[in-house]
Amino acid sequence: MSEQKHHYSSEPEHYILSSESEPFLERLIFNNRSLVIVVLMALTALFGYGLSKVTLDASIEKYIPLNHEYIQNYLVHKDEMKSGVANVKIAVETTDGDIFTQDYMDTLSKISDEIFFVKGVDRSGMESLWTPNVRWMEVTEEGFQGGPVIPSTYDGSPDSLEQVRQNVLKSGQVGRLVANNFESSIINVPLVEYNPDTGEKLSYATFSADLEEKIRNKYGSDQYRIYITGTPKKLGDLLEGAQSIALFFLAAMVMTAILLYLYSRCIRGTIVPIVASLIAVVWQLGSLALMGFTIDLYSVLVPFLVFAIGISHGVQIINGIAIESGKGASPVQAARHAFRGLYVPGMLALLSDAIGFLTLLFIDIGVIQELAIAASVGVAMIIVTNLVLLPVIMSYIGISQPGIDHAYKASQSKAPVWRGLSAFASRKVAPFPIAIAIAMGIGGYYYSQDLKIGDLDKGAPELRADSRYNKDNAFMVGNYSTSSDVFVVMVETAPERCNAYKVMDAMDRFMWYMENVPGVQSATSLVTVSKLVTKSMNEGNLNWSALSRNQTVLNTSIQRAPGALLNSDCSMAPVIIYLNDHKAETLETVVAAVENFKDSYDDDVDMKFYGYRYNELEQAIEDGEIASVPVRFQLASGNAGIEAATNQVIADAQGTMLIFVYVVVFVLCFITFRSLRAVACILIPLALTSILSQALMTYLDIGVKVATLPVIALGVGIGVDYGIYIYNRLEVMILAGKSMQEAFFETLRSTGKAVSFTGVTLAIGVATWMLSPIKFQADMGILLTFMFLWNMLGALILLPALASFLLKPESMLARHKKKHGEVPPAG
């Protein structure tokens, strides 16, 4: 250890901050320790107050790319199409025979009544076999005949049940309100967005819980099964799932504490990093809440990251303090030396994390941008809490004797594992990991060519395939003529013209065109209603299921069309296209087909004509300003339409984001280490991890989506920490004159030990997400766990192997000498 005797009086080969022997920052902090504590505690109190302002927000807007053209088009009509979104369907299935039994009808009636009084239900719009708005209709010699499906004379007798059966068949509700197999029927429940009594926005979480409690738990049994679907229910389930995140956080914290204790064998060395990291979490949550940010399903994960990253840096400090204390330094001295040795790589690592996260701002989706801000702020907080507060606290309380002994023993041991690992820094062994890495890189690259954009699973992709919601959804799709993947094209024209023959005919042709596109099941719109009603008005004769050119007939035919199929001034009518699935290819094919049709049918006329009132347009047509009623097809709405837009945004942003995050770490590493070779040693393992994680996504059928794109940036941002710490120490050891392998051995048993601990800790923290009921959180957990572990292995194996070929210890020493004389570097 003689060569390390002088290193307190030397300084590292870094230029970010001071080049003085006792850096300015160190003096500033450690000469005013009590002041630092007081100020930081005051801040903690302030941000702790901010915690009370944290709110969970489930607004849908944040999850979609608001500035995308499709979404902009959709937002123009958002209020007019609201009715379709806030809607839940409740299916009641009998496991015994069919629905035409007295018991089933009674049960359905009770459930129907119960739902009527659930808060948030739009009572007038409710539909079930028991509501009077569900009617049957028939053409007779005298004209139309009809009535409610369950007649007022219903008494539960076999005769009246048979009557109900006949009425159901005549009602056209089979496949809609009554299952194709007659074993279940649906209660369709539209919601009001605002509570009429209080004016408050309806809480989907409460509503969803109400349904579970008052409907599913109360009426669900072996004989009657309840299935509930619809966007409000899905959001409710997601919010419920998000609450389990708190449990995962607790679990991660306990596991981290145990690992930390095993690692440090010191209660103080265990509690202080945890407390410091928790303070960072408090600061992050509190400051963002004070700034007015809300928590969503993505940013709810940030505290994990902040905590885990905080711990990993805290460990480095504790490790440094223990080693220094083992050498006999006082608590203050040990803390100062640990700070001095680690604040540069620590700050560099945290800065690259923070800036790396900020590259997520390139993705124009609210949740990702807020995730970027939250994570960056959180990481910036760690600089203060774990690089400043933590060593200052430790300078007061010091590390316990068992901890010091443990660290000392470790530093004196032969450390066979580290000895073995250090072989990777020798030129004899190094070619193997390098060759393997190249093979994996190439293999991974080709394999990841199949990586898909978007969500690949059926049903609600946010939730697991075997979640209750998705099971319910599968039941609905399987037993009713409906698809959960809906692509909506908005057909725009001038006011009061959506029922003009030209507009209707264009829609009709568009629907047939789309029905011929692979992946499209069917399309429906105002035209469907018009044809159906025209046919009905002509005694149900199929020959009449066509659009009439007679405007009076057309008007009559859509008089009773559902409000969801046209807007209030009849200037827009949506075409609803049902898809097989929402895979990226399907969406791309559909979008391309719509664009193709648009090219042939959109009227290239001045925008002003779309605003003309009826008479103005008549005049304009008469004057020859415009040939006919203008029409254009606007993409897109519906879950599939929004997803198509999201996919496009993600496909566009993916490359940019990846380039920027690598540019950021490149620049920061280069500024710090002033050597392209050093940068290569740090970045090549990272790049390998990026490639392999894409291959893993391909293998696990996880698409690039809102949830997984940030992981790429997070993975690179956090992964670079390991490389920076390892390289920093390795360089110090090389400059101290050690051989490459010896330098790496020394690196491993100090920093390397901390890095491997960190890798495992971080991985455990995010691995708990895999248990989340929310699918995208689980996906993020899998990928981050993989990236953290693999980055750790990269830094411990590939980095030294590369270093053994890339680094030139002689020239490094020469350069160092030229600058600083014979003084060995700090470390």
Partner 1 sequence: MFSDLVRPWTGNQKSGLSLLSGLFITGALATSTGAFAEWQDPLQTPAMSSDKAHQSLLLDVTERGNALVSVGAYGHAIVSTDNGFTWFQGSVPVTTTLTSVDFADEKNGWAVGHDGVILNTADGGLNWTKQFDGFKANEAMLTSARNNLTNAEERSEEIQETGSDMEVEQAMTALENAEFAFQDAEYDLETGSTKPFLDVYFWSAKEGIAVGAYGMAFQTMDGGSEWFEISSRLPNPNRLHLNAITRVGERSLTIVGEMGLMLRSDDMGETWVGQSAPYDGSLFGLLDEGDTQILFALRGHTYRSDDDGITWQALDTGSEQTLLGGFSSDRGAMLVGNGGSVVTLNAQLSGAESTIIAGRKGAASVIRSEAGHFVIAGDAGIQLVSREGKLLQRQAEMSEEKGNE
**588 forms part of the interface with partner 1 (CB under 8 A):** yes
Name the minimum Å distance from CB 707 to partner 1: 16
Measured in degrees and rounded to the nearest 5, phi and psi for residue 285 equal: -65, -45
Name the minimum Å distance from CB 501 to partner 1: 8
**Residues in contact with partner 1, shown as a per-residue x/- string from 599 to 628 under the rule CB under 8 A:** xxxxxx----------------------xx
Of 188 and 647, nearer to partner 1 (C-beta) is 647
Region from 281-289, 555-563, 649-657, 814-822 binding partner 1, contact rule CB under 8 A: 649-657
Of 245 and 650, nearer to partner 1 (C-beta) is 650
Q: For partner 1, which residue of 3, 162, 595, 618 counts as binding (CB under 8 A)?
A: 595
Of 4 and 521, nearer to partner 1 (C-beta) is 521
Q: What is the 3-state secondary structure (H, E, C) of 450-492?
A: HCCECCCCCCCCCECCCCHHHHHHHHHHHHCCCCCCEEEEEEE
**72 forms part of the interface with partner 1 (CB under 8 A):** no
- Nearest Cα to Cα of residue 229 among 474, 524, 481: 474
Name the minimum Å distance from CB 121 to partner 1: 32
Q: What angle do CA 578, 584, 589 make, to 5 degrees?
A: 65
Q: For partner 1, which residue of 132, 196, 655, 737 counts as binding (CB under 8 A)?
A: 655
DSSP string, 392-444: HHHHHH---HHHHHHHHHHHHS--HHHHHHHGGGSTTTTHHHHHHHHHHHHHH
Q: For partner 1, which residue of 538, 556, 806, 812 counts as binding (CB under 8 A)?
A: 538
Name the minimum Å distance from CB 530 to partner 1: 13
Name the minimum Å distance from CB 449 to partner 1: 6
Q: Cα(662)–Cα(658) distance, rounded to whole angstroms?
A: 6
Which residues within the stretch 164-193 sit at the binding site for partner 1 (CB under 8 A)? 169, 174
- Nearest Cα to Cα of residue 702 among 368, 445, 455: 455
Q: For partner 1, which residue of 101, 231, 589, 698 counts as binding (CB under 8 A)?
A: 589
**149 forms part of the interface with partner 1 (CB under 8 A):** no
Q: Which residues contact 526 (CB under 8 A, 6 or more apart)?
A: 498, 499, 504, 507, 558, 561, 565, 566, 573
Structure tokens at 164: 């109900």
Name the minimum Å distance from CB 363 to partner 1: 14
Q: Cα(229)–Cα(227) distance, rounded to whole angstroms?
A: 7
- The widest CA-to-CA distance across the chain, in whole angstroms, is 112
Which one-letter amino acid corresponds to residue 597? Answer: F
Burial class (CB in 10 A: 0-12, 13-18, 19+), 823: middle
Structure tokens at 396: 């007061």
Q: For partner 1, which residue of 121, 260, 323, 704 counts as binding (CB under 8 A)?
A: 704
Q: Cα(517)–Cα(783) distance, rounded to whole angstroms?
A: 35
Which one-letter amino acid corresponds to residue 782? Answer: I
Residue with tokens 């007022």: 152
Region from 41-49, 80-88, 416-424, 580-588 binding partner 1, contact rule CB under 8 A: 580-588
Region from 83-91, 120-128, 139-147, 281-289 binding partner 1, contact rule CB under 8 A: 139-147
Residue 135, SS3 per DSSP: strand
**652 forms part of the interface with partner 1 (CB under 8 A):** yes
Region from 135-143, 183-191, 395-403, 793-801 binding partner 1, contact rule CB under 8 A: 135-143
Name the minimum Å distance from CB 635 to partner 1: 10
Name the minimum Å distance from CB 562 to partner 1: 21
**Residues in contact with partner 1, shown as a per-residue x/- string from 93 to 132 under the rule CB under 8 A:** ----------------------------------------
Q: For partner 1, which residue of 543, 560, 607, 623 counts as binding (CB under 8 A)?
A: 543
**593 forms part of the interface with partner 1 (CB under 8 A):** yes
Region from 405-413, 447-455, 556-564, 761-769 binding partner 1, contact rule CB under 8 A: 447-455
Of 223 and 550, nearer to partner 1 (C-beta) is 550
Of 724 and 783, nearer to partner 1 (C-beta) is 783
Q: Which residues contact 172 (CB under 8 A, 6 or more apart)?
A: 136, 137
Of 405 and 585, nearer to partner 1 (C-beta) is 585
DSSP string, 786-814: HHHHHHHHIIIIIHHHHHHHH--HHHHHH
Q: For partner 1, which residue of 97, 156, 420, 540 counts as binding (CB under 8 A)?
A: 540
Name the minimum Å distance from CB 534 to partner 1: 10
Which one-letter amino acid corresponds to residue 590? Answer: V
Structure tokens at 751: 């920093």
Name the minimum Å distance from CB 95 to partner 1: 24
Residue with tokens 């299952």: 179
**Residues in contact with partner 1, shown as a per-residue x/- string from 492 to 531 under the rule CB under 8 A:** ----------x--xx--x--xx-xxxx-------------
**Residues in contact with partner 1, shown as a per-residue x/- string from 191 to 230 under the rule CB under 8 A:** ----------------------------------------
Which residues within the stretch 545-574 sit at the binding site for partner 1 (CB under 8 A)? 545-546, 548-551
Which residues within the stretch 448-487 sit at the binding site for partner 1 (CB under 8 A)? 449-451, 453
Separation of CA 303 from chain center: 15
Name the minimum Å distance from CB 483 to partner 1: 17
Measured in degrees and rounded to the nearest 5, phi and psi for residue 187 equal: -105, 120
Of 373 and 517, nearer to partner 1 (C-beta) is 517
| CB 254, CB 307: distance < 8 Å | no
Q: From residue 786, how far is each of 641, 650, 722 by CA, in Å?
A: 32, 22, 14
Measured in degrees and rounded to the nearest 5, phi and psi for residue 758 equal: -60, -45
Q: From residue 220, how far is each of 10, 156, 223, 225 by CA, in Å?
A: 74, 22, 8, 5
Number of residues that bind partner 1 (CB under 8 A): 58
Residue 744, SS3 per DSSP: helix
Name the minimum Å distance from CB 688 to partner 1: 19
Name the minimum Å distance from CB 683 to partner 1: 21
| CB 314, CB 256: distance < 8 Å | no
Region from 74-82, 115-123, 587-595, 611-619 binding partner 1, contact rule CB under 8 A: 587-595
Structure tokens at 4: 């390390």
Kindly tell me the sign of the dihedral angle through the C-alpha atoms of 652, 653, 657, 658.
Answer: negative
Name the minimum Å distance from CB 701 to partner 1: 14
Q: Which residues bind partner 1 (CB under 8 A)?
A: 139-141, 169, 174, 449-451, 453, 502, 505-506, 509, 512-513, 515-518, 538-546, 548-551, 584-585, 588-589, 591-593, 595-597, 599-604, 627-628, 631, 647-648, 651-652, 654-655, 704
